A and B are shown apart, each in its own frame.
Chain A
């Protein structure tokens, strides 16, 4: 609750600043609300259960009506693909909102598979960085995107700490951001699990209220302390994410960024945004004052010598 009011305060502060100079502010005050996040849904991903079958990728492709993949979904050679001189594994693209990657931690004799998609943050960086409010965090927990207002600045891609949003660069007239929307329109809005969760044959994915999923995750960690790292990835990262991960090996060995801050990304710019209305309010008097102080006994006509020459 406190977060909501903080955001509103920020929006209000900026709106006030804008109103001083420009335009009616009512519209602005309505922007940036983050309703319903305590009861939001999420997915618990148990990486010890994932078998790397890629059926979630296939289900996502079908549900979201994405173009056919370059390699069929039963082709497991994609796990050997690397990019950028072998430094990068696959990542979500405009043609695939979710991908599964294979990792081989040294201490295990079997590979670990990790599904990547939008993590549906509690306070999404994409949303808070968007200057046309194209993103919405729904009360069901999904972070959805309105392509009809997107200008294509791609700030959301800069801001996303998980490098999730992709962009359809090849489109000429209507390039848009492409990312997992938690099957919001077709499923989650109606209380159904997203396509990837429904199809998972290994029960690696559990759909439910985020707060319940945290309980389930903690239970699993407690029940088999030897099998799990005692950490839930996504519980605290960047203010918490709707998708939560538990795993047997340390998360950094599975390509997770474990150096992320605990606070939402928006916190990093709050200092700056808070200063904005102050500058708008203080600078006019300050600098007009400077002007009066500096030119007390001098020429008060602000016209320059060029004009005087003109007059002569």
Chain B
């Protein structure tokens, strides 16, 4: 129980909760958004969306599924680096990457549940009605299996935390198997999300559409997406909750950020090249001179080329700040690409759908729950710090670094 409250007595725990202004922001979002989510389930999808027949996938999927999943590729990227290629120098950040992957997928499923017409039938494609020639069948199966794989991968931290070393050892024995299946599943379903849009030729603007390469665009862009998400999250973590990070994490972070950026830069340059190949393959150069072309160029320049320049400069001169800015920009670029494909340039011949206000609020609310859960876990499980022996004693000292008489003022806001 004391682990749950970070080693603080309940009143102090609540006290520091209330002092944290970010919690007030979350509270306001929840106060508005959670009733709306309940409203959606009582009155149906039509009550919170525009019920569009032409845009059947609104913000819930275009943001929640198509953006969250590539940004959660971090789990399999770092898992591969450390476990398969034996790069143990990445270990201090591996667990953060695994957790980022798990939570991203989990919340992609949450967004999906909100969006599905009959979410209680989610298991139908698994057990009841199989449509194996459909790309979505593959997505469903793979996300489900991969989610379990990631639960297993992250569970080692959880077993340390609750003090079950044997369970942890059992999971660790299967690490290589879990990691390899993670690579397989990620390759296929990251690609499959792109292949889903191959079903809609003519609806998606030709610059964004490529029957042959759609899946590989989505897969390749998920690599810098996942890596940059680790850079971004670690940046936020080191700025806002440095108390929870151990020295190994703090000392290695700058070095690791630069190394991750190298990987992201290689992913980005590959992505840039294959995007251009797609334009050349379908001979779509003339579209670049249109308004859509300008939008496409903006996406590519701001979301791919500029981060590449920043990464090159930042890595060369070891400027972590520049690299971090590049990482945030890359994430924005990936999000822009997915929103463009699913919402903006979708139905480019028809009209532009602007999501319903409630749809926007619910999307923000689910994202806020994601952040809150993310922080809740980071504050507790040994993700940012290595677990020590005699856990209960150590956690108390780690979590309450201030003298007792001054704690009212000085316990920093944490959770």
- Identify the A interface with B (CB < 8 A): 7, 10-11, 14-15, 18, 21-22, 27-28, 31-32, 84-85, 87-88, 91-93, 125, 128-134, 149-155, 157-159, 161, 163, 165-167, 169-176, 257, 259-261, 265-269, 271-273, 276, 279-280, 283-284, 287-288, 290-291, 294-295, 298-299, 302-307, 309-310
- B166-179: CB near A (< 8 Å → 1, else 0) gives 00000010011001
Q: Are B131 and A132 in contact (CB under 8 A)?
A: yes
What is the size, in residues, of chain B's interface with A at 8 Å between Cβ atoms?
A: 79
Chain B residues within 8 Å of A261, by CB: 201-202
Q: Are B44 and A171 in contact (CB under 8 A)?
A: yes
Give Cα A305–Cα B184 distance, bound, in whole angstroms.
27
Give Cα A7–Cα B197 distance, bound, in whole angstroms.
19
Q: Are A295 and B86 in contact (CB under 8 A)?
A: yes
- Select B54's contact among A163, A173, A265, beta carbons within 8 Å: A163
- B193-206: CB near A (< 8 Å → 1, else 0) gives 00111111111000
Q: Are B132 and A15 in contact (CB under 8 A)?
A: yes
Give Cα A195–Cα B57 distance, bound, in whole angstroms.
32
Known: A272-B198, A294-B85, A310-B387. A175 touches B133 (CB 8 A): no
Chain B residues within 8 Å of A283, by CB: 180, 183-184, 187
B115-130 residues with Cβ-Cβ distance < 8 A to A are: 116-119, 121-122, 124-125, 128-130
Q: Are A269 and B195 in contact (CB under 8 A)?
A: yes
Dominant secondary structure at the B interface: helix
| Nearest B residue (CB) for A128 | B133
- Select A153's contact among B46, B84, B136, beta carbons within 8 Å: B136
Q: Are A129 and B135 in contact (CB under 8 A)?
A: yes
Within the complex, what minimum Cβ distance (angstroms) separates A59 from chain B? 22
Give Cα A172–Cα B125 distance, bound, in whole angstroms.
21
Q: Are A272 and B125 in contact (CB under 8 A)?
A: no
Chain B residues within 8 Å of A161, by CB: 201-203
Q: Are A155 and B386 in contact (CB under 8 A)?
A: no
Known: A32-B132, A167-B117, A283-B184. A265 touches B201 (CB 8 A): yes
Q: Are B133 and A158 in contact (CB under 8 A)?
A: no
Chain A residues within 8 Å of B349, by CB: 257
- Select B134's contact among A155, A294, A304, beta carbons within 8 Å: A155
- Select B117's contact among A131, A150, A165, A265, beta carbons within 8 Å: A150
Chain B residues within 8 Å of A302, by CB: 83, 172, 175-176
Q: Are A14 and B117 in contact (CB under 8 A)?
A: no
Chain A residues within 8 Å of B54, by CB: 91, 163
Chain A residues within 8 Å of B121, by CB: 149-152
Q: Are A272 and B117 in contact (CB under 8 A)?
A: no
Q: Are B124 and A287 in contact (CB under 8 A)?
A: no
Q: Are A154 and B129 in contact (CB under 8 A)?
A: no
- Select B53's contact among A93, A170, A260, A310, beta carbons within 8 Å: A93
Give Cα A279–Cα B215 distance, bound, in whole angstroms.
14
Give Cα A92–Cα B54 distance, bound, in whole angstroms.
11
Chain A residues within 8 Å of B125, by CB: 131-132, 151
Q: Are A32 and B386 in contact (CB under 8 A)?
A: no
Known: A167-B53, A169-B44. A306 touches B122 (CB 8 A): no
Q: Are B117 and A279 in contact (CB under 8 A)?
A: no
Known: A31-B133, A175-B45, A310-B387. A257 touches B83 (CB 8 A): no
